[in-house]
Every structure is written in C-alpha cells, then in structure tokens.
Amino acid sequence: MKIQTHISLKPYNTFGVNTMASKFIEVFSIEELSEILQKYDKIFVLGGGSNLLLTQDITIPVVKINLRGITIDKQDDDFVWITAQAGENWHQFVMYCISQGYGGVENLSLIPGNVGTTPVQNIGAYGVEIKDVLYSCRAMSVTDQHLRDFTAEECQFGYRESVFKKALKGQYVIVSVTFKLTKRNHVLRTSYGAIGQYLANKGIEQPTIQSISEAVIAIRQSKLPDPKELGNSGSFFKNPIIDIATFNRLKEKYTTMPQYSVSDSEVKVPAGWLIEACGLKGYRQGDAGVHKEQALVLVNYGKATGKEIFDLAKYVQQQVLDTFGIRLEMEVNVV
C-alpha cells in the first residue's frame, strides 16, 4: 500500500485535468483493499482514469486499484477461461490474448483504461461489447468486504450500462474479471465501421484476430487523439437510440443521417454525426474543444478545467437537442 497526501490527479486521468486529491492511496492486493474499505466510510475508486471527467477536488480518499496478474482458469479444445486482475491495462491484456491465439476481444483493441472498469461501462467498439466475452467478475462489497462473483447475467448489461452503474452503484469494487474466449473457430466481426474496407485495402481476404486488431488500432489512431498528446476520454456521448418513426421523420430532412438497427422499433444514430451536423466539429471554448477529426470526442487543449469541459459538453447537448430534438447522454462519468 502506498499513501500520499495533497497530490494532483492530472497524471491519473486521461483528460489531464488538474484537480487535487486530499489523500491518494494505491492498493496492490485484495487484503489492502479490504483494509482501506474497513477504515474509511467513503472512498473514490480510481481505475485507469479513462472514462472520467473531474470537475472538482476530491476530499475523500482516492483509492487507485493496482491489482495485477493474468491467469488461465481452465481450457478445452475450443475455449479458454482467463482471469485478469482489475489493475491490468486493458489494451495490454487484449494484446496478450491475441498473442496467445485467444479470440473475442480483438475488436476492443486500443480502448484506454483498466480491466476492472470494463464491466462497469460495458465498453464496446466495432460491434463487440464486454458482455459478449465476459464470463464473470469478482467484486468486493464496500460495506462488509465480502467477495462476490457476478455472472454475465447478474451484471445486467445494457448499452454502456451495467448493474454497477445502476442498482449497485458505489456498493462494490471490482477486483478481477474472467473472460471466456475462443481458441479456434473464432467469430470474426469485420462488417462494423471501416474494418472491412481496411482489410480490403490491405488485400486481406482471410482475416485473423491479429489482422482485425491491427485494423481496429489503425482506424482508432486515424480518428482518435492519443490521450498522452491531447487530453480526452474517448467517446464522450452515447449514441442515442430513437424510435423508427422519429428517425424516418428526421431522415426526410437530413437525408444522409446514418442509423444502425437495434430492434424492430428502434435504431441507433451516431452521436458524432449529430454533433458534426450541428457544425461543432473542431469547435472550441478556450482550451476545451470538440475534436477536429472526431466530433464524438471532447478534448483538453492544455489548460481546460473539468468544469470548462463539462460546460462545453452541455453546450453540445443543447445544440443537438435544439437541432434534432434528440437528447445526448454523456458516456463519461462526471465527478
């Protein structure tokens, strides 16, 4: 365990927002986490800081989850059950799985953050979500430090949602996640986004999990800024889901509006397209801005405060609401 006081959280959030933590505690084991939870009534749990917008100083103890390790629980000819501790870097875990020939997470390459936060958000990209590969996750109760294993069904996954963001918010700290991945007969998802076009341009007719991962990485790098170079938290807004009647009405006026089918009665509309259609791509308010290449991403050009970025987000929401009558929901956790 490592305890520090009065430190800046700027290195610990991908927006690079300079807020202060009164107490900063790094835990490296389940036992240390249990000790901290017994000692403090309230804590602020910090993972990779990649889906977070800090708008104020944190006065309660900030607990950084640094549990590490990857283990194979069991395997057969077709599948492997692999557990990663919560503090493992997500992209590095994906790269490890691909190097071992384990399929299922390749479309989730280059997503920032740590393994422990992936079920909370049900992270997803290019047609794959965590719910598609998660077997279970282990979490510690904040109140009595009891360890509980949650099945995928018990996680109650939705679009960028889980039970940990709703009914059990703040009640558990995830300490490890177990994934069920394929060892052969991989289900390759190449139809979403620009993956198929990338593979075609490379002359790849029989893609592998490796080539799909490379495609995803190349596409993300071409569209999304590197948080190490330009502060951001990836996609800031959820893609809104609207009923087909509303979409058809809007389509008459905005003929190029794209959509992805969700059900017989609903479609998903890309939030980035809506923001760009409002003329906000590249828009700035001081050092807070909408990224010039991907309107779904809000960025910190250097010295923006969390409140300034939050104010920009609210402005974007209002513009989309006024133009399309669609209310954008923030994907990033605002504190």
List 138, 160, 189, 220, catalytic entry = 160
- Phi–psi pair at 226, nearest 5 degrees: -75, 120
Residue 279 zone, left/alpha/beta (φ > 0; ψ -120 to 50; rest): left
Residues 6+ apart with CB under 8 A from 313: 53, 236, 237, 298, 330
Residues 6+ apart with CB under 8 A from 110: 91, 216, 217, 220, 221
- Phi–psi pair at 264, nearest 5 degrees: -65, -20
List 88, 106, 214, 331, catalytic entry = 331
Active site (annotated) includes residue 35: no
List 136, 162, 213, 235, catalytic entry = 235
CA 39 to chain centre: 30
Name the nearest CA neighbour of 315 among 328, 305, 302, 324: 328
Pinpoint the alpha helices (H) of 204-331. 209-223, 244-253, 271-277, 306-324
Active site (annotated) includes residue 235: yes
User: How many Å from the N-terminal Cα to the C-terminal Cα in the chain?
Assistant: 25
Give the residue numbers annotated as catalytic, written as ranges. 160, 235, 331
